[in-house]
Amino acid sequence: MRKVESYSVVAATSPVKLNMEDFRVCNPPFEGETENDFMNYFYLKVEWIEDFMEENKDVLSEETMSCLEQLAYPEMEEMFDSRNKGEDSWYEIGKTNPEYRRTNGFQVTVSGNNQNIFI
């Protein structure tokens, strides 16, 4: 038997200011109009920030490059840690089995997670 605990930690960088217009001269160029368009562009076209910066270092300002660098190599500040609000845990029964890498080498046969256990 073992005890399992699940938790969430949310962290974020300090905000940086990016001007959508600066990205119109990039490769690939930003062609949208709205913040939603820019978010889609950023996720789909700028996914690997370091590669994007290298590709566009000659057309982006030092200020924009600095902002992108802060996103590429982030210093994160914790916003929320569910462990500070309580515990979400359960017990499992099983046996050790190195083939079960996803469950840390433990082959679960019975889990109390999301079970209605009545005493």
Count of all residues that appear for the chain in the document: 119
In this prediction, residue 73 carries a pLDDT of 94
Instruction: Establish if 37 belongs to a structural domain.
Output: yes
In this prediction, residue 27 carries a pLDDT of 96
Boundaries of domain holding 26? 10-80
Instruction: Establish if 41 belongs to a structural domain.
Output: yes
Give the list of residues 6+ apart from residue 26 with CB closer than 8 angstroms, or none: 52, 55, 56, 59, 60
pTM for the full predicted model: 0.70
Residues of the chain short of pLDDT 70, as ranges, are: 114-119
Instruction: Establish if 43 belongs to a structural domain.
Output: yes
Instruction: Establish if 68 belongs to a structural domain.
Output: yes
Task: Give the helix ranges, DSSP H, for the chain.
Answer: 35-45, 49-56, 62-72
Instruction: Establish if 87 belongs to a structural domain.
Output: no
Instruction: Establish if 21 belongs to a structural domain.
Output: yes
In this prediction, residue 88 carries a pLDDT of 86
Instruction: Establish if 118 belongs to a structural domain.
Output: no
Tell me the angle at which helices 62-72 and 49-56 cross, rounded to the nearest 10 degrees. Answer: 160
In this prediction, residue 119 carries a pLDDT of 45
Strand partners, 54: none
Number of domains forming the structure of the chain: 1
In this prediction, residue 3 carries a pLDDT of 93
